[in-house]
Amino acid sequence: MLMRTDPFRDFDRLAQQLLGAGTTSRPAIMPMDAWREGDHFVVEFDLPGVAPETLDLDVERNVLTVRAERPPRNGDWEMLASERPTGLFSRQLVLGDNLDLDHVEAHYDAGVLRLRIPVAERARPRKIEVRSGSGELTAKESHGAISS
């Protein structure tokens, strides 16, 4: 069997082992996407290999904390490569006052945690009628734009 070495990859692996990146010595990163869909904000976290029962979500004031754990593999074997992070994953999001944090929905499927956070009723766009001195309607405001 012919083995090819890549000194840069070997150096990266050594640096990760020494600095603790992606190991149990410090929290691993949770990749995230976030976007707005109508009256909801949607946030997705990639958490492959995390058991649903290890997921923990907390909201305190306007801070949403997501925690998950991928336990290290234990057994009677010799590890040949260890590039997947294990241990505790944690991420905090500071959310605006315009979101309804009492009605956050969470769903975990295929290694993706999806949160749907509704926009608070008081923060939703609304139309404001403007009347002239004679009481006639002169303009309407819709989603921040004014039309006549």
DSSP per residue over 10-27, as a string? HHHHHHHHHHTTTSTTSP
What pLDDT is recorded for position 23? 45
Residue 56 falls inside a structural domain:
yes
Task: Write out the residue range of the structural domain in which residue 30 sits.
Answer: 26-72+84-123
Residue 17 falls inside a structural domain:
no
- Please choose, from the candidates 20, 75, 27, 68, the residue with its C-alpha nearest in 3D space to the C-alpha of residue 48: 68
What is the chain's pLDDT, residue by residue, as a tens digit (148 residues)? 444 445 555 655 556 555 554 444 444 578 999 999 999 999 999 999 899 999 999 999 889 999 999 888 888 888 888 788 888 989 999 988 889 999 999 999 999 999 999 998 776 777 888 888 776 655 554 444 433 3
CATH assignment of the domain containing 103: 2.60.40.790
The reported pTM is 0.65
